Each structure stands twice: as C-alpha cells, then as structure tokens.
C-alpha cells in the first residue's frame, strides 16, 4: 500500500531541503529498518551525495541574497526530487502505473508548492539589511525538515497534518511579505534614480 501521508510530508520537506529528506530517509531505512523507505535510498553512494548536498545548502542558506540565488537554481531540482521520491515509494509499494504517476504528481507538486513558499519568504527576509534573520530562518528550516521527517517516519498521518498546516501558514506569510518585497525594490529603484539624477546635475554644473 502506498504510504500517502509519508509521501506528502516528504514532498513538502523536499521543497525546503530535498537533500536532507533523502539523507534522513536513507539513514532511517538503513539503520532504523523502516519498511516504507525504498532500499535505493539506503545505498552508501546516495547517502554520501545527499550529505554533500545538505552541507552545501546548510552553508548557502546562511548567506543573504546568495540563499535566494540558491533557491532559484533549485526550482528545477527540488520538485524533481520530490517527484522521484514518489516514484520510488510507489515502486517499493508495488503500485500500478497509475499509482506511480499519482505519487510522482503528489510528491513533485507538493515540493513545488513548498519551494515557492520558501523562496518567497526568504526573498522577504533578504529585504532586511542584517544577516541574523537569514541565519535564524535557515536554521529553522533545517530543524523543521529534520523534525518533520523524523516524526513522519513513525507517525506519518500526524506529520502530514502538521505539514499541511505549515504549508498553509507559510503561504500566508509569503503573501504578506510580497508587499514588503515590492516596496523595498521600489524604494531601491527610486534611490538609484535619484543618485543618477544628482550625478547628472553635478556633471552639468562642472566647469568647462
């Protein structure tokens, strides 16, 4: 039987940190003998690659603006990894072709939704000039993914409910921050135009 709650939670977490999801599932499968985890995730090569990816994201997420560049690049990665997890879980559960397609759509779609929320929230945080909020937000994401996936392995339905609540809450926060982002970019553009106008005015007053 396809573990839909675990798949939903894995997809949502993949939109935040797909490397951590693969790493945690692989570790739980390899050392915790969790039956729902596809064996391919337990392979040493997969665990090493996921650990390296997680290390890179851990560092990238702490740097203002670079974290948003990282997110933009991963727009083509996180949904694919979420969908791939769905396919692996469907195959592991001996699902039909239709079930596999549905699992891929659920995992990939959920990852895309949470990735969009994460990217929007981090753009809003980058409007602030100090780096502390970026570090706290990144640490919060790491802890959320770790806690949510660990909980999902043993209590998948409850974790899926929590994941849905987090997605809804994150969407609301992203919408509220959208106005802040627009105002910040508008003010920045206006200051740039003012500096250009002042430069041109001073150049026109220069002695000839």
pLDDT 10s digits, 20-51: 999 999 999 999 989 889 999 999 999 999 99
Determine the pLDDT at residue 173.
84
On the question of pLDDT at 81 being above 80, the answer is yes
Give the chain as a 3 state SS string: CCCHHHHHHHHHHHHHHHHHHHHHHHHHHHHCCCCCCCHHHHCHHHHHHHHHHHHHHHHHCCCCCHHHHHHHHHHHCHHHHHHHHHHHHHHHCCCCHHHHHHHHHHHHHHHHHHHHHHHHHHHHHHCCCCCHHHHHHHHHHHHHHHHHHHHHHHCHHHHHHHHHHHHHHHHHHHHHHHHHHHHHHHHHHHHHHHHHHHHHHHHHHCCC
On the question of pLDDT at 207 being above 60, the answer is no
Percent of the chain whose predicted confidence (pLDDT) is above 70: 84
Percent of the chain whose predicted confidence (pLDDT) is above 90: 64
Compute the mean pLDDT over every residue in the chain, rounded to the nearest whole number.
88
């Amino acid at each position: 039987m396809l573990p839909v709650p675990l798949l939903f939670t894995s997809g949502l977490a993949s939109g935040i940190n797909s490397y951590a999801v693969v790493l945690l599932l692989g570790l739980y499968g390899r050392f915790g003998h969790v039956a729902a985890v596809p064996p391919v995730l337990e392979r040493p090569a997969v665990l090493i690659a996921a650990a390296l990816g997680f290390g890179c994201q851990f560092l990238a997420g702490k740097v203002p603006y670079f974290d948003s560049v990282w997110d933009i690049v991963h727009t083509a990665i996180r949904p694919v990894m979420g969908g791939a997890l769905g396919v692996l879980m469907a195959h592991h559960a001996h699902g039909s072709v239709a079930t596999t397609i549905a699992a891929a759509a659920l995992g990939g779609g959920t990852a895309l939704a949470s990735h969009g929320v994460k990217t929007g929230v981090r753009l809003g945080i980058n409007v602030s000039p100090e780096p502390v909020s970026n570090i706290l937000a990144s640490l919060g994401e790491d802890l959320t993914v770790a806690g949510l996936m660990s909980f999902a392995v043993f209590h998948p339905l409850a974790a899926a409910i929590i994941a849905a609540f987090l997605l809804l809450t994150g969407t609301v926060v992203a919408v509220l921050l959208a106005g802040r982002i627009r105002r910040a970019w508008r003010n920045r553009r206006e200051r740039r135009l003012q500096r250009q106008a002042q430069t041109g005015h001073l150049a026109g007053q220069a002695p000839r």
